Copies of this chain bind each other. A is one copy, B any other.
């Protein structure tokens, strides 16, 4: 059962709400002997951290990750994993002691308030509780550790669409991604998104987005038909991110529109004498198993439901009410979802790598 856990051999369990003392992740199954530093993890938490630009929420969270177990501290300040559970904790520091009285009983449209109340009969309304995107900080910490496991694998993400404004894929340049506040790989889209998001932000509105994540260097043969398919678990793990409403691999929904001739990836023997694909419509996965080509996934994030416009709703007592969500919110949560998507992809691939190693013994 995996309500708050994902993965099988590389297992991540997260815990914590936005307004308790802390939140965290327990990573069970991290292979022993991996040397890393706190900074190796912190750099990814900083990417996700709020308050980095005017296009994301202005909350202030330091998001310092602490490693509580599973490592032997080394003299140079680094740590080496011992194969036992790595407990990662992030303390909550910016919990404004505000009056939640209003939303404690009112269901914000588009939020999980109503469904949590139906399911559990009780709900931590403070800051969204467990349904807060703050939970994703724990994922990013776990993902940062996952990145240390398989040598030669590179995992990167980028924002490719905000509202109806898509990047020009011809302009794709990974070097640009960290040079703008949107993780945009296309420098030409940046001013477009800036002016569009300024408009959205000033209107107290919000908008959706699409993120693309790519894993390069993943060996061929990772994955497990038929209910442990690599693409299936990537889909599951990306869909578990707050506000995600769609996931696709390679050509994705575009594959529905084309013919078998257009979609199939032909093969040849490469100059290095090894098998080579002439295209990657499959997004690096065939039959649920990696091909050795880059693994390419995209996910759609809905606009955050926290908007200043008044919307009709009900409260826990069955009264009809109007709700207007005040507070410091992200006009486009898709931006900060980029490092989260990378983290989920990293964890998924490591898990499959270890599983395949167990099942077939092929890999070291």
Q: Which residue of B lies closest to A261 (CB)?
A: B309
Contact A245 B236 (CB under 8 A): no
CB atoms of A264 and B110 under 8 A apart: yes
Residue pair A69, B210 in contact (C-beta under 8 Å): no
Given contacts A251-B302, A252-B245, A253-B300, contact A124 B84 (CB under 8 A): yes
> Is the beta-carbon distance between A20 and B112 smaller than 8 angstroms?
no
- At the interface, yes or no: A273 with Cβ under 8 Å from chain B? yes
A130 CB-CB contact with B under 8 Å? yes
Judge whether B28 and A122 touch: CB under 8 Å: no
A16 at the interface (CB under 8 A from B): yes
Q: Is the CB of B240 within 8 A of A229?
A: yes
User: Which residue of chain B is the closest to A164 with respect to CB atoms?
Assistant: B257
Q: Are B5 and A289 in contact (CB under 8 A)?
A: no
Q: Is there contact, CB below 8 Å, between A235 and B255? A: no
What's the Cα separation between A300 and B252 when bound, in Å?
7
Q: How far is the CA of A313 from the CA of B286 in the complex (A)?
A: 15
Q: Which of B164, B222, B262, B312 contacts A266 (CB 8 A)?
A: B312
Whether the Cβ atoms of B131 and A260 lie closer than 8 Å is: no
Question: How many residues belonging to A are interface residues under a CB distance threshold of 8 Å?
Answer: 152
Asked if B72 and A122 make an inter-chain contact with CB atoms under 8 angstroms apart, the answer reads yes
- Could you tell me if B260 and A303 are in contact, using CB atoms closer than 8 angstroms? yes
Cβ-based interface call for A52 (8 A):
no
Residues from chain B with a CB closer than 8 A to the CB of A282 are 110, 245
Tell me the bound Cα distance from A247 to B245 in angstroms.
9
Whether a CB of chain B sits under 8 angstroms from the CB of A68 is yes
Please, which residues of chain B bring their CB within 8 A of the CB of A252? 245-246, 300
Binds B, one of A170-178, A181-189, A200-208: A200-208
**Residues on the B chain within 8 Å of A220, using CB:** 114-115, 118-119
Among A130, A163, A292, max chain B CB count under 10 A is at A130
Q: Which of A9, A110, A220 has the most CB of B within 10 A?
A: A110
Sampled A-B contacts (14; CB under 8 Å): A13-B28, A14-B226, A20-B69, A26-B26, A31-B361, A72-B124, A208-B263, A209-B256, A246-B255, A260-B307, A267-B313, A267-B314, A269-B319, A354-B359
